[in-house]
Structure 1
Amino acid sequence: MSEALQLVLEDTDGTQLETSCTRFAVIWQGREVWVQAVGDQLLIGVDVEEGDTEYANLLLRPQATNLVSLQLEMEPVEADEDDHVHGPDCNHDH
């Protein structure tokens, strides 16, 4: 069950806009990085398109007590045609 996320968007001049949504995406390095809340977890995933020749790894590293870095690393797809990456939007029963 998804929960609404309360967002604060800030411009470079410091102007803030508050809004809410169930999930949002950031376009980063040409990929949609999706964020959504499910229960007490925050899920982060990268959309995979049919025919992609690379898939994304998200690397999370601690930086400080209350700070982490997220790195997007691309790797070539070396899978059989029948292989499928299951995710929240794949529309398959798992």
Structure 2
Amino acid sequence: MTDALRLILEDVDGTQLETSCTRFAIVWQGKEIWVQQDGRGQLLIGVDVEEGDAEYANLLLRPMATNLVSLQLEMEPAEVGEDDDHVHGPDCGHHH
């Protein structure tokens, strides 16, 4: 299995451009939303966290129809401290 993603970019007039990459980002609401494959056939979507960010971005995925979902970006304060209930693991995306 390849890690390359085939992309089809479409202009407002319907003109399509095909390309490929291993990872791409969409800048949405001032945040970079990164999309990549994990090598096991799954698609990973994450938001880059910058050092010193005052908020964390949560991605909320909701079904809309049989073949359509809604992705919402929701911000919450980054209160890191002793009461932080986030469990850090190999897949959490934080660099420790």
TM-score, length basis structure 1: 0.85
**Mapping 1:27-38, distance limit 5 Å:** 27-38=27-38
Structure 1 pair 62/26, CA: closer, same or farther in 2 (3 Å)? Answer: same
Identical positions, percent: 75
Structure 1 residue ranges without an equivalent (≥5)? none
Give the Cα separation in 2 of the matches to 1:69 and 1:8.
Answer: 20
Structure 1 pair 63/74, CA: closer, same or farther in 2 (3 Å)? Answer: same
Q: Does residue 79 of structure 2 align to residue 78 of structure 1?
A: yes
Q: Return the letter of the residue paired with 2:11.
A: D
Give the Cα separation in 2 of the matches to 1:8 and 1:44.
Answer: 18
Is the 8 Å Cα contact of residues 57 and 75 (structure 1) preserved in structure 2?
Answer: yes
Q: Return the letter of the residue paired with 1:19.
A: T
Look up the match of 1:25: 25
CA distances 1:65-90 after superposition (whole Å, capped 9, x unpaired): 11000000000011129x79641x73
**Mapping 1:31-50, distance limit 5 Å:** 31-38=31-38, 39-50=40-51
* Deviating 4+ runs (over 6 angstroms): none
TM-score, length basis structure 2: 0.84
Higher strand share: 1
